[in-house]
Amino acid sequence: MGVSSEVKAVFLDRDGVLNKPVIVNGKPYPPKSLNELEILEGVKEGLEQLSELNLLLIVVTNQPDVARGLTTAKVVDEINNNLKQKLLIDDIFCCMHDNSDNCECRKPKPGLIFDAAKKWDIDLTSSFMIGDRWKDVEAGRRAGLKTILIEHQYKEKYDKPDFTCHNFLEAVNTIKSLV
């Protein structure tokens, strides 16, 4: 994970960035099954464009519903594997802990990003985080990434990201203008 690394990456949140979240009372939640999984418009095309720029595409996702007993690790793995089959994704790093576990991998802590950077020898200062929630922006900021928020008008606070976009392709175009 040295500064001399030439490997650049785009870190991607899963629900609300790659696939449609389930909105309940203005807050996003993951799909409960593979049947509910719906890839958002422009994602496949956008990932292909980023891949053509030789950027690694790494998903970093919180899935606390496993710790909360609302879903199983098997369901989360099925959804993640389905996304890897359908989309150009190099790797997926997943935290299945809840806030009370106080782990290092749950965003807004940057543990998943650091784990990926170590595995793939990624230069974090030349890489990006695309998320749809404040935890994604904060994790990206703590890891030294340029942060891009896809604004979905959720009912929650937001820290100011480096860039704000309205959809995935707009986020991709922002990255293309910077690399």
Kindly report, residue by residue over 25-51, the tens digit of the pLDDT: 888 899 999 999 999 999 999 999 999
pLDDT of residue 3: 47
Where helices occur in 11-94 by DSSP H, the ranges are: 43-52, 73-86
Q: Hey, what are 174's tokens?
A: 């922002």
Kindly report, residue by residue over 5-29, the tens digit of the pLDDT: 689 999 999 999 999 999 888 888 9
Output the pTM of the full model: 0.95
Q: What percent of the chain has pLDDT over 90?
A: 88
Kindly report, residue by residue over 77-116, the tens digit of the pLDDT: 999 999 999 999 999 999 999 999 999 999 999 999 999 9
> Among this protein's residues, is 15 annotated catalytic?
yes
Domain boundaries of the chain, sorted by first residue: 9-178
Q: What are the two backbone dihedrals, phi and then psi, of residue 77, each rounded to the nearest 5 degrees?
A: -65, -40
Q: Which amino acid is at 20?
A: K
Domain 9-178: which topology? Rossmann fold (3.40.50)
> Among this protein's residues, is 13 annotated catalytic?
yes
